Amino acid sequence: MKIKLHNLFLPALALTLLLLPGCNMSQTTLAEEFQPIENKTWKWSDSKSFTFTVDDTTHYYNFSIGLRIQGTYAYSNIWMISQIQGNNTNIKEQVQVEIADQTGRWLGKGMSNLITYLKPIYVQKKLAAGTYTWSLSQNMRDELLNGIVDVGIKVEKGQPIL
């Protein structure tokens, strides 16, 4: 029995269209980076800066703060100053990341010696094309904040702007 190629085209096309939504055809993560905290003690004066570039203005962007802490971290939260600057944009505000629940159970992923958090901070932000710098600094009462291993960011492409 001979099978003609044009008879296979429609089933192959249907299978491709069925599987296509599961594929990530475009890169959705614009930036993802962690920077270490010297001696696992984050000082007020030690601001961490991250740079990323926006080329696609047809989508919103989602921003998350990442933290890696030791189980010896003394608080259930951390307050930070977050500032995103670039291309006539200056978003600066104090943000809070909850580290533990009311019972003291860590909310992140990992073991007691290293717990990782990824907290969405800005959702569906519209940005113009250009290069941006996102700076984070700790804003707790203690000038020296012990138990912070790494601070990071994640910037992802969100929904299309309609």
**In CATH, what number is assigned to the domain containing residue 114?**
2.60.120
The verdict on residue 2 lying in a domain is: no
How many structural domains compose the chain? 1
pLDDT confidence of residue 111 = 79
pLDDT confidence of residue 38 = 96
User: Residue 33 contacts by C-beta under 8 Å, 6 or more apart in sequence?
Assistant: 50, 152, 153
The verdict on residue 79 lying in a domain is: yes
Task: Please give the model's pTM, rounded to 2 decimal places.
Answer: 0.80
pLDDT confidence of residue 16 = 46
pLDDT tens sequence for the chain (162 residues):
555 555 554 454 444 444 444 444 346 999 999 999 999 999 999 999 999 999 999 999 999 999 999 999 999 999 999 999 999 999 999 999 999 999 989 999 997 789 999 999 999 999 999 999 999 999 999 999 999 999 999 999 999 998
State the amino acid at position 125 in one-letter form. Answer: K
The verdict on residue 38 lying in a domain is: yes
The verdict on residue 19 lying in a domain is: no
The two three-digit tokens of residue 102, written as one number: 């009311």
Question: Nearest CA to 75 among 137, 149, 148?
Answer: 148
The verdict on residue 156 lying in a domain is: yes
Measure the CA–CA gap between 76 and 62, rounded to whole angstroms.
Answer: 25
The verdict on residue 4 lying in a domain is: no
The verdict on residue 14 lying in a domain is: no
Range of the domain at 68: 27-160
Can you list the alpha helix ranges (DSSP code H) found in the chain? 5-19
pLDDT confidence of residue 22 = 44
Distance of CA 110 to the CA centre of its chain: 17
Measure the CA–CA gap between 67 and 106, rounded to whole angstroms.
Answer: 12
The verdict on residue 21 lying in a domain is: no
Measure the CA–CA gap between 40 and 105, rounded to whole angstroms.
Answer: 21
Q: Is the dihedral of CA 127, 124, 78, 110 positive or negative?
A: negative
pLDDT confidence of residue 118 = 95
